Amino acid sequence: MALPAGVILALSHPSGERLPFPLDRPAHLVPLANRPLLVHVLRALREAGLRKVAIVVDEATAAPTRAVAGDGVAFGVRVAYVEQPVGAGAATALAGAFERVGGAPCVVHHGRAFLAGSLRPVVSDFAQRLAECVVLVGGRPADLRAGAPARGRLLSVCARRAGGERIVPLGIDLCRPAVLERLESGAADGVSLSDALVDLATEGRAEAWAVKAQAVRLDSSDAVLEASRLALDELEADWAQADVADSRIEGRVVIAPSAVVRSSVVRGPAVIGPGAELLHAYVGPYSVIGDRSRVEGAEIENSVLLPDVTISSPGWRLEASVIGARARVTRGFDLPAAVRLRVGDGALVYTT
């Protein structure tokens, strides 16, 4: 029996905090395979059998989140919004979300989490067990068989090292109303979500389950590249309606009908977004070309270009790169030869 509801924490802090340059947006709105992470989450909840979803937002994330998710009908779910003050913690957010879904058991999906694989097996198992809360963790520890529960103090389980791999929370929890009750009863004492879960684990009412599915916490450009690769692995080729001429398309490639590809090579898995242009270009595996971006005389591989990027004859291949929206990477032929950069805080420029 599937759980009746899902909760997505799309707050500015802590789970929806804006990512640094060049992404500069809440994690749940970062595009993976040219679709916001939020879209992937909604589809995962729907596939797991959930039909009702509460999305917790604040003033900074409410409008863009509503623009993506709407009422949820396009994703096969019903979406309600729970607005919280900027900086509200997970405990406050969960309290409001639980009330919105009628106190039903929930899958709590944190805004930065991306899971490649189905939630249906763990949702089904949770519906048959007595635990008040299950925290999904990664790693392959000797004392946690994949999919099997392990009792004990939750934080100790999550922090333990076994076989050289750390067991870490994936950012997806399965909770029953007892979690809300614990949060409400400890509100005056400032009880956090972690406090509540540790208390329940100590009583044998919370468990950590290891899962085999790959998961990524979006907190850096490298994490975005990893999550993008996982999302692209699920692609099916679709470019029959695209404007392609004098080009070679190989493997699982998705090209939007409004994109233009001329005298180029595209090797999948890769996505070419709406309105994008490829001219005398090479786009290699695990690359995403954002909406309305233009790539001319360039080679790109294992990279993500956000919307409205221009890459023009840079003189070297771009690999493992994340290029922020509206950025321009071009090459001049004036003398004396030089490199001119305009980069944001925390940016990395690495050439070989």
pLDDT of residue 299: 95
Provide CATH code, domain 243-330. 2.160.10.10
Q: What is the pLDDT of residues 64-109, one digit of tens each?
A: 999 999 999 999 999 989 888 776 666 677 777 777 776 678 888 8
pLDDT of residue 93: 72
Residue given tokens 């030869």 in the structure block: 337
| CATH among 3.40.630.10, 3.40.50.970, 3.90.550.10, 3.40.50.300 for 5-232 | 3.90.550.10
Q: How far apart are CA 241 and CA 333, in angstroms?
A: 37
Please enumerate, as own/partner, the contacts of 18-21 that have beta carbons within 8 Å and a separation of 24 or more: 19/218, 19/219, 19/220, 19/224, 20/220, 20/344, 20/345, 20/346, 21/324, 21/343, 21/344, 21/345, 21/346, 21/347
246 CB burial (10 A radius; 0-12, 13-18, 19+) = exposed
Number of DSSP helices (H) and strands (E) in the chain, helices first: 8, 30
User: Where are the chain's structural domains?
Assistant: 5-232, 243-330
pLDDT tier at 151 (50, 70, 90 boundaries)?
A: very low
Q: What is the pLDDT of residues 252-310, one digit of tens each?
A: 999 999 999 999 999 999 999 999 999 999 999 999 999 999 999 999 999 999 999 99
Q: What is the pLDDT of residues 97-147, one digit of tens each?
A: 777 776 678 888 888 889 888 888 888 888 887 778 888 877 544 443 333
Residue bearing the bigger pLDDT, 220 or 19? 220
- Helix (H) or strand (E) segment spanning residue 262: strand 260-262
Q: What percent of the residues of the chain are helix, what percent strand, and what percent coil, each to the nearest 5?
A: 25, 30, 45
The total of other beta-carbon atoms located within 10 Å of residue 193's CB is: 22
Directed axis angle between helix 177-185 and helix 193-202, to 10°?
110
